Amino acid sequence: MQELQDEKAGKVKKERTPMPEQPAEERKKNFNEVALGYTKEDALAEASRCLSCKEPKCVEGCPVNVDISGFIKLICEEDFSGAIEKIKGTNALPAICGRVCPQETQCEALCVLGKKGQPVAIGRLERFCADYERQQGVKVPEITKPTGKKVAVVGSGPAGLTAAADLAKLGHKVTIFESLHKAGGVLSYGIPEFRLPKEIVRQEVEYIKQLGVEFKPNYIIGRIKTLDELCDDFDAVFLGTGAGLPGFMGIPGENFNGVYSANEFLTRVNLMKAYDAEYDTEVRLGKHVVVVGGGNVAMDAARSALRLGADEVSIVYRRGEDEMPARREEIEHAKEEGITFRLLTNPVRILGDEKFNVTAVECIKMELGEPDKSGRRSPAPVEGSEFTIPADVVVIAIGTSPNPIIFKGSEGLDQNRRGTVVADEETGATSKCGVFAGGDVVTGAATVISAMGAGKKAAKAIDEFLKEK
């Protein structure tokens, strides 16, 4: 069988169908989406590369186990509605996943074609189906007979939205509590328009509402009601509150004006649309912007700063490029747009003027030591190598941890040292009866799709819990 596949693989095009993109020179001046999406012809060409493996590995790489070869086969038959229906059987947010999943480490990493050439562009095909459906008008599946059970979902990010969608499809009455005025969590405030248009997030949320999910914005659990009170009102609770508490470096000068956490910078830009003069929220426009960190959030902040009109944007990262946790594609996009990468460099102090405005970042050169037990090479400062980079805006993107506000006035919920919730990996069950958790609030800052996977598993476990209750 394997031989047969290999033989067929020898005949298919090694290269995947390219994705049309806005040219770098143009896109760095606007917040429009960079990747433009496949045309019907592109999608058909790419879908035809799939070998329809008998025992497809790609599905194992997908945290929510979408029937990948199944939906690709339907694309080949030009049954795009059938394809999206197949995807939505397991994934409630395909337009988002197709855009922001790191497919190269998930489904596409396990594609057989990847051994000798490029794997099938599964993410792009998923996106194509979702975009096709939005143009046609989204169909809402029939809802199962109500079970009479009520579930509260706290947080409307990827974990909460996925859990809510699955639970609603099973006939449970779901209410989502969201602290901000808009649903989506990091999809709304964190990931910029040029990677994930907010109109798409809005429409995906709308779909979940059509499944019968009630949505309560401006509702803060821990302030309006405690988690304990929520447990009294509902048969089960899912916590998908994310990791929204920004980390700062604790270096001198970090409170100067012009120094932002990535959360604040991106919230102002994405959620409040500070880049648009029609909107009231302000954000400081830097000429020289320094972004500290090497993850996707750092790339998003840097590329947003560039689009706000900065002359120079630098990424300052204490390890090397190979160690950067950001997606390859995001690093490449950032480079194409002209972001400067200052690697093996770490800030030690932020300098400011008499008016309290930031003027520069003092950095030190780093070198990587031998790999430690975990296999990671830890960086150490090179003595005497300090130098300064001029800066009028500095964005700290060194990671986040769970916001403690949710735990206020609630008892019996075990947490780890870093403030994350202790939950069973398979079911999301916590130490508190009837309370399940998943996504960044359990793992610390991770990916959209792993949060969705956790939401999905928890929904299944909650359904079983409710049946036994």
Binding site for other proteins (CB under 8 A): 179-181, 217-220, 223-225, 244-246, 248, 250, 254-255, 257-258, 260-261, 263-264, 267-268, 272-273, 278-282, 284, 355-356, 403-405
Least Å distance, CB 152 to other proteins, is: 14
DSSP letter string, 409-447: T--S--B-TTSPBPB-TTT-BBSSTTEEE-SHHHHSS--
Q: Which of 344, 381, 345, 363 is nearest to 253 (CA)?
A: 363
Q: Which of 212, 210, 211, 205 is nearest to 180 (CA)?
A: 205
Query: Smaller CB distance to other proteins: residue 54 or 181?
Result: 181
Least Å distance, CB 200 to other proteins, is: 18
Q: Which helix (H) or strand (E) holds 79?
A: none
Q: Which amino acid is at 143?
A: I
Asked if residue 312 lies in contact with residue 287, where contact means CB atoms within 8 angstroms, the answer is yes
- Return the beta strands (E) in 83-125 as ranges: none
Q: Which amino acid is at 144?
A: T
Query: Smaller CB distance to other proteins: residue 169 or 268?
Result: 268
Least Å distance, CB 47 to other proteins, is: 39
Query: Smaller CB distance to other proteins: residue 225 or 432?
Result: 225
Name the 3-class secondary structure at 238: strand
Query: Smaller CB distance to other proteins: residue 280 or 383?
Result: 280
DSSP letter string, 443-459: HSS--HHHHHHHHHHHH
23 DSSP β-pair partners: none
| Separation between Cα atoms, residue 400 and residue 423, nearest integer Å | 19
Kind of pairing, strands 259-261 and 150-154? unpaired
Query: Smaller CB distance to other proteins: residue 264 or 336?
Result: 264
Query: Smaller CB distance to other proteins: residue 296 or 403?
Result: 403
| Separation between Cα atoms, residue 341 and residue 260, nearest integer Å | 19
Say how many C-beta atoms besides its own lie within 10 A of residue 205's C-beta.
23
Least Å distance, CB 244 to other proteins, is: 4
Q: Which two tokens stand for residue 116?
A: 């000798």
Query: Smaller CB distance to other proteins: residue 292 or 459?
Result: 292
Least Å distance, CB 209 to other proteins, is: 13
Least Å distance, CB 185 to other proteins, is: 10
Query: Smaller CB distance to other proteins: residue 273 or 377?
Result: 273
Least Å distance, CB 451 to other proteins, is: 16
Percent helix, strand, coil in the chain, to 5, is 40, 20, 45
Least Å distance, CB 266 to other proteins, is: 9
